[in-house]
Amino acid sequence: MSRAERLLSLLQALRRRRRPVAASTLAEELGVSRRTLYRDVAALRAQGADVAGEAGIGYELRPGFTLPPLMFTPDERDALALGALWVARNGDPALADAAMGAMAKIAAVSSDGSGDFIDSPALLPGRRRLAEPSDAWIPILREALRSERRLRLGYVDAKGRSTERVIWPIALGFLNGVRVVAAWCETRLAFRHFRVDRMRELEPLRDRYPRRCRALMADWRRQESIDE
């Protein structure tokens, strides 16, 4: 592995992690000595990467440093193309357009300049999902997740009973044939799951959640025994 490849691998290893990682862990992952790792961290910093931490404490890459978008491996490009095609066939129109737009940008700056991995993909995500009236709720839900805004929800449960709730959405699951929202329900004072196709009304409210979405997500994961 050349030094440039090693620095790129180190940068990628740091970008994948949300918390500080020990030098010993990074050195083992990259197959180098700690001494080499320390030199590589210094080299990244000299090139403008904001790597926080030090030997004995751990390292993390702070936001703001970007890589040239031409360093994707063939496997990474296949993974991105497969994901983008799945979103294009299963997401709402705005999300589908965004997925294909992102892939076009990656293709434009790829090492060979070819967009074949988009135009003629070798990995296919299955047939296109049929549009449903409830798809209209997806953009509202995604915006609520981004802005952490409460929603007033008119809902019909599996037994046909209508209820009105105020919810704090924390996750939107695109499952096979079903879209499910995980949210804190002010009516039940607990986390609940709502099928998008059973929603009858959805009104954004001005107030934000009283707790950050990240903290709510952590509580929900613990409740559902979902690993990080």
Residue-range domains of the chain with CATH: 3-61 (1.10.10.10), 74-119 (no CATH), 133-224 (2.30.30.520)
> How many C-beta atoms surround the C-beta of residue 79 within 10 A?
13
Q: Which residue has the higher pLDDT, 171 or 121?
A: 171
What span, in angstroms and rounded, lies between the C-alpha atoms of 61 and 215? 22
The closest alpha carbon to 167, from 146, 147, 140, 149, belongs to 149
Residue range 45-74: average pLDDT?
Answer: 76
For residue 216, what pLDDT is reported?
A: 94
Percent of the chain with pLDDT strictly greater than 70: 89
What span, in angstroms and rounded, lies between the C-alpha atoms of 10 and 191? 39
For residue 108, what pLDDT is reported?
A: 67
**Stretch among 80-94, 110-124, 164-178, 201-215 having the lowest mean pLDDT:** 110-124
Using the predicted structure, report yes or no on whether residue 1 has a pLDDT greater than 70: no
The neighbouring-strand residues paired with 167 are: 151, 185
Using the predicted structure, report yes or no on whether residue 10 has a pLDDT greater than 80: yes
Mean of all residue pLDDT scores within the chain: 85
For residue 171, what pLDDT is reported?
A: 94
φ, ψ of residue 47 to 5 degrees: the values are: -90, 0
DSSP states along 91-142: S-HHHHHHHHHHHHHHHHTSTT---HHHHS-SS---SPPPP-GGGGHHHHHH
pLDDT band at 65 (very low <50, low <70, confident <90, very high): low
φ, ψ of residue 200 to 5 degrees: the values are: -115, -25
> pTM (2 decimals)?
0.66
Give the model confidence (pLDDT) of 16-32 as tens digits: 887 889 999 999 999 99
pLDDT band at 208 (very low <50, low <70, confident <90, very high): very high
Using the predicted structure, report yes or no on whether residue 186 has a pLDDT greater than 80: yes
Please tell me what DSSP assigns to residue 160: S
For residue 82, what pLDDT is reported?
A: 87
**Stretch among 4-18, 56-70, 108-122 having the lowest mean pLDDT:** 108-122
Give the model confidence (pLDDT) of 80-123 as tens digits: 888 888 888 888 888 888 888 888 777 766 665 556 666 667 77
For residue 4, what pLDDT is reported?
A: 80
For residue 90, what pLDDT is reported?
A: 85
Using the predicted structure, report yes or no on whether residue 214 has a pLDDT greater than 80: yes
pLDDT band at 57 (very low <50, low <70, confident <90, very high): confident
